[in-house]
Amino acid sequence: MTETTAVFDVPKAPKSVVATVLNPECYADDRIYEAYAWLRANSPVALVEHDDFDPFWIITKYDDVRAVELNSTVFRNSVRSYNLCDRKSIEHVLKINDGSPNLIASLVAMDAPQHSVYRRLTQNWFQGTNLKKREDEIRVIARQAVANMIAIGPEVDFVSDLATEYPLRVIMNILGVQEADWPLMLRLTQQNFGTKDPELSGAAEPLKEEHYANFMHDMVKAFSTFFTEVSNDRRRSPKEDLSSIIANATFDGAPIPYDIEMGYYITIVTGGHDTTSSATATAVWQLAEKPELLARIKADPTLIPHLVDEAVRWSSPVKHFMRTVGEDATIGGQPVRVGDWVMLCYGSANRDEDVFPPEFTVERTPNRHLAFGIGPHLCLGQHLAKMEMRILFEELLPHIKSINLRGVPKQSVDWFVNGPKTVPITFEYE
């Protein structure tokens, strides 16, 4: 953020709210939603200042988040880190990454015209017509996942016994990754999104500063080593899978740059698995707490797509993305300056009282949540994620008479991407 911004009389988030926003534990126990609610009511565009972080604007109202998302010309993705990091971590990333703020050259880190060029390489693959061809294949995987859960039950951890493995199998099949390599893909995905959660990262403590940068660098290197071999194989012998499309993609008659090729793989594996798992587990958590809702959906399966959308809204697995102001502008009436850093809080926007009711409900259609984003950076895999979830619940719910929690679910400790990591349930099978 530019130093000039700080001298203006601007609304600043109080220290107690700042402490919550910058504490990953608060995302695991839902204290973050209390901070979000306070900000929406009192300071929806507020400046966050802390000694360890570059100042940034936190945006919590639905309309404001949506407006920034739609204005990608002014609010840029590539200039600075697209997820929140402390100042020293950013310095170390820049140092080991040749001055680039993002270790993964993903679509998320691109602006126009580069973004639209590389998005088009796979955009048609993720559209409804093509995905429809995959429905039978995904349904087989869903039936196997349900059968496995029933065989383990009636007491299971829905996350580890179904919600983690099911979307992983789907995305691995789509990419053409062999089953023997799935555990590696899962471990690297958990490392990617679990840097603040030692149970997921495998580190001794939450990672920060140079440890975060080195850890993420090693994770990217491990992914790249694996998918370099995959790409080499698909260039020699293309198959009917998404890896073949990525490996043989060209722009202006030349292969796409190596870092962008690897960024595509990493984004599809991690984003296509972890976030879907979180939303799926959230849906079952809600059904366990609301037996009347389970009964209604069993009686009327046409509500399943509404359950899917509502679970995605309620969980909002990607809690934020950062943007950088490219030219002087206003957000919700608040002036922002070139170079300012902006946090778009999807977890807050999707619970904005002016747009959504305070409870989990399947009554609303259309469900205009922002969990997949909107505008040019709308999630490429949104249709796949919703189709996976729909198919799973179409296969699962007819066989389930009841679902009850048999313990307190635990959520991951992270401010970027978080969701349930355990949902212990007991179920009756029919």
Burial of residue 144, with CB atoms counted within 10 A of its CB: 0-12 exposed, 13-18 middle, 19 or more buried? middle
Domain that holds residue 131: 3-429
Residue 55 has pLDDT above 70, yes or no: yes
Determine the pLDDT at residue 8. Answer: 53
Lowest mean pLDDT among 123-132, 173-182, 209-218, 362-371: 209-218
Beta pairing class for 53-59 and 341-345: parallel
Give the tokens for residue 339: 């170079």
Q: Mean pLDDT, to the nearest integer, of 73-92?
A: 95
Determine the pLDDT at residue 4. Answer: 39
Beta carbons of 348 and 30 less than 8 angstroms apart? no
Residue 7 has pLDDT above 70, yes or no: no
CB atoms within 10 A of CB 289: 14
Q: What is the pLDDT of residues 354-364, one digit of tens each?
A: 999 899 999 88
Residue 121 has pLDDT above 60, yes or no: yes
Name the residue among 352, 359, 384 with its Cα closest to residue 125: 384
CA dihedral 235, 240, 245, 246 (to 10 degrees): -70
Q: Mean pLDDT, to the nearest integer, of 209-232?
A: 91
What total of structural domains would you count in the chain? 1
Beta pairing class for 45-50 and 400-405: unpaired
What CATH code is carried by the domain that includes residue 375? 1.10.630.10
Q: How far apart are CA 328 and CA 289, in angstroms?
A: 47
